[in-house]
Amino acid sequence: MNITIIRVPDYESMSRQAADFLLKKIRELSSPVLGLATGSTPKGLYEQLISIHQTQKISYRHVTTFNLDEYIGLTASDPNSYHAFMEDAFFRHVDIPASQIYIPNGEAAYLEHECTRYEALIDKKGIDVQVLGIGQNGHIGFNEPDTPFSQLTHVTTLAESTREANARFFSSPEDVPKQAITMGIASIMKSSEILLLASGARKAEAVTRLLSGNVSEDFPASVLHHHRCVTIIADDEALSEFTRKEEEHD
């Protein structure tokens, strides 16, 4: 299996390990390009990177970032937009120049043109490490089940399960947008390395299915078995079901 699994006891440990992983790239590469994710899973990672920047005086000025996705119909200043999330959770605390930060424009007048523009930027810059979470239905980015593995950056309609999972960030479930721009599965697979983070019991079933090795478009994360360099950092709870099945098999 081309996937390296790093098991950690808890969320904080996962976040520290992920920060160490990215920091190694930031130090090694002259112009590292990082693909970033949003949501509760990578938030601890960003907190660790902020702490390292502030306490160890490590600069990120040479870093370029691409975010996976953005809701359609939310302004960049909307507190629930991923522009606002990233600004609050990471960017305003570090020294990455704004000109080196890329996030899809969910307000674009011509959404298909925006998708093409974003994909061209990815191709021009190249992503050294793409950070991913995993949805309970196996989505990566906002690539929902049955998204073709060949799909590039595109407009997607969010599954109801995804909208329900994200409703905790909104005033009411009805406020969760129904569409988003997301890097496609083929866009993600262009990255030189992939770092997938998983924490908590609610991700255990998805992690188990991913590690089963069965590759199918009805479970988007399974495409990672076709990538040459994938690292998964997951905590005990996220790996609990996989561990139980392995023990039963033994």
> Does 80 qualify as catalytic in the annotation?
no
Residue 130, SS3 per DSSP: strand
Q: Using DSSP bridges, classify how beta strands 179-182 and 154-157 pair: parallel, antiparallel or unpaired.
A: antiparallel
Q: Which residue in 69, 70, 235, 237 is the catalytic one?
A: 69
Catalytic residue among 105, 137, 143, 166: 137
- Which one of 53, 83, 139, 154 is the catalytic residue? 139
- Quick check: is 69 catalytic? yes
H or E element, residue 165:
helix 160-166
Type of residue at 123: D
Amino acid identity for residue 70 in this structure? E
Alpha helix positions (H), 75-145: 82-89, 111-125
Query: Rounded to whole angstroms, how far apart are CA atoms 166 and 20?
Result: 28
- Taking a C-beta distance cutoff of 8 angstroms, is the pair 60, 92 a contact? no
What is the residue whose two structure tokens read 């006891």? 9
Beta pairing partners, 7: 234
The percent of the chain in helix, strand and coil, each rounded to the nearest 5, is 40, 20, 40
Does residue 214 have an active-site annotation?
no
Which of 144, 235, 237, 241 is the catalytic position?
144
Q: How many CB atoms lie within 10 A of CB 24?
A: 12
2 is catalytic: no
Angle at 41 between CA 52 and CA 207, to 5 degrees: 125
Strand bridging mode 129-132 / 193-198: parallel
**Which amino acid makes up residue 10?**
D
Active site residues: 69, 137, 139, 144
